[in-house]
Structure 1
Amino acid sequence: MSDQSPIGRARRLRQNMTREETKLWGRLRARKFHGYKFLRQHPIIYQQHNNHPQFFIADFYCASQKLVIEVDGKIHDFQKEDDQHRDTILEGLGMRVLRIKNEELKDLHKVLDRIKAALNQ
């Protein structure tokens, strides 16, 4: 499996999760969060171009609710247009996107309440 393939890239990202992603994953994994199944660093292919998949890697994804959770670090302050473009494509696929800033994870319970509200929409 090529490291440039969606699966190869996702595997690499799973091995190098940020501290904030790891903290949230500890609460979402293994159906611990209200019985919902979440996948981490999940590739979402949105089109094929010249036999090459165009894809995003979602930090966390709940397929049953079509909810993508993105944990945004400081880099996202400088790529707001890219993030908006990505969100538009994902929403076009019928998915909802919840963005959580790293700083917000200092209050994990508040973040979990936001996730629960998004799942119940």
Structure 2
Amino acid sequence: MPSFAPRNTLRARGLRHEATLSEKRLWLYLNKQQRLGFKFSRQIPIGPYFSDFVCRDAKLVIEVDGDSHDLTGAYDERRDAFLRNQGYRVLRFLNEDVRDHLDGVLQEIDAALGERL
């Protein structure tokens, strides 16, 4: 169940405002073109974690990792385990992948969505 507590709304708003260029670029494609008919949202709380992009219908989470994620391996593993336990599949891409290989990133997202049909 989504959590719409005022502090979550404010935090999500702040995270959207602070999005990296790669997150903004990917959002243009996820938001404008519903991928295979699936709708995405961004900076959505799932339990104690905020996810960059979420498709609730396909139970798919997409994370775009950059420099700030270099030292967070254990945190990401706990977070991914929690999300998998909630039934979500997690896809992770580096900022550079979104910047330099967007077509490949979108193909991987579409393949994951196709598996959820």
Give the TM-score category using the shorter length. Answer: 0.7 to 0.9
Contact 2:36–2:113 at 8 Å: present in 1 too?
no
2:97 aligned partner: 104
Contact 2:97–2:105 at 8 Å: present in 1 too?
yes
- In structure 1, stretches of 5+ residues that fail to align are 46-54
**1:62 partner amino acid:** C
TM-score for the superposition, normalised by structure 1 = 0.84
TM-score for the superposition, normalised by structure 2 = 0.87
Give SS of 1:37's match: coil
Alignment root-mean-square deviation, CA: 1.4
- In structure 2, stretches of 5+ residues that fail to align are none
Residue correspondence of structure 1 range 13-92 to structure 2 within 5 A: 13-45=15-47, 55-92=48-85
Deviation at 1:16, TM superposition (A): 1.8
Give SS of 2:39's match: coil
Deviation at 1:31, TM superposition (A): 4.3
Structure with greater helix percent = 2
Count of aligned positions:
110
The structure showing larger relative contact order (alpha-carbon pairs under 8 Å, at least 6 residues apart) is 2
Structure with greater strand percent = 1
